A and B are shown apart, each in its own frame.
Chain A
């Protein structure tokens, strides 16, 4: 099945700087890649997703890029704010066969005021 890995496990950034989290996946047939944000004690919430027919997607201060050749995708957060501090999970799935979303282990992002 699909195996998703996230790097780095913890990321500290100064408020206002950018943060980048990278995920790699193993299944070349995967074509759907969502990102979830989980604040302490709360549920994971979808913040952005991308499908394999596009290379980049942006939504205000967040963006996701996809490199299908290298089998990795990244979350970019610009102008970070304290409320961006959370755990971020990436996931991947394919549209057929064993296609349950496979989650990475999560990245802790800490924005230092």
Chain B
């Protein structure tokens, strides 16, 4: 157990819908990262927050957005969902930039 929690574990929804994925970082970690992993693909970095502020953006679609709250948990919002958005979404956290990232168990999203 990495100490990073994600909810829900599984999510099944329809095209066009909107979902919210939630992540709680390890105690004391200020950075939260979101990754998308499609079948047989690597880890696609989406976005990073540090202590409530957006720190870096990767290959995140405009239909996706995220935020980090004062208690440091983070939410990833996915809207106007398409079939191709079906993937594993991982959250990771670290104490600071450049340090070890600890991954949560992931949310498996299936868009039908």
Contact = CB atoms under 8 A, between A and B. Distances in A.
B25 interface: no
A93 B98 contact: yes
Contacts of A52: none
Interface residues of B, number: 22
A32 B100 CA distance: 9
Interface in B88-112: 88, 90, 94, 97-106, 108
B44 to A, nearest CB: 9
Contacts of A42: 105-106
A95 interface: yes
B97 A99 contact: yes
B48 interface: yes
B98 A100 contact: yes
Given A43-B104, A43-B105, A104 B42 contact: yes
B90 A46 contact: no
Contacts of A99: 97-98
A99 B90 CA distance: 20
A103 B90 CA distance: 14
15 contacts: A41-B88, A43-B2, A43-B90, A43-B104, A46-B102, A89-B43, A91-B101, A93-B98, A93-B99, A98-B56, A100-B45, A101-B94, A101-B98, A101-B99, A103-B45
Given A45-B2, A46-B100, 19 more contacts: A32-B98, A32-B99, A34-B100, A42-B105, A43-B90, A43-B106, A44-B90, A45-B103, A89-B42, A93-B97, A93-B98, A93-B99, A94-B98, A95-B98, A100-B55, A101-B98, A101-B100, A101-B101, A106-B43
